[in-house]
Amino acid sequence: EADPAVCSHSRRAQLRLCLERLKGLVPLGTAAGRHTTLSLLTRARLHIQKLEDQERRALHQIEQLQREQRHLQRQLEKLGMERVRIDSIGSSLSSERSDSDRGES
């Protein structure tokens, strides 16, 4: 069996290492000196909430932009079909004109 004192020491060392890593990931603000574990964990929680909020806003913006893109794509397709229709009307008008030009000469 493992010695409980050794396991406890190992867990504390692991916790210290994790807290040091966390310090590197969380913006500590102006009071970047000594932080208690509680203040570090509180700052980490607030930072995570801020990141989640930013992610929600970014996803909302992506959805809006995708809707706008689909709308613009539909408009472009509609304009393309209009152009084809106008081109075909224009070509039939010009062929009618050339027919009448030939008849008059």
On whether the pTM is more than 0.75, the answer is no
The per-residue pLDDT for range 20-79, each reduced to its tens digit, is 999 999 987 766 567 788 999 999 999 999 999 999 999 999 999 999 999 999 999 988
Confidence band of 81 (pLDDT split at 50, 70, 90): confident
**Distances in Å between the alpha carbon of 93 and those of 27, 86, 89, 96, 99?**
71, 10, 6, 5, 10
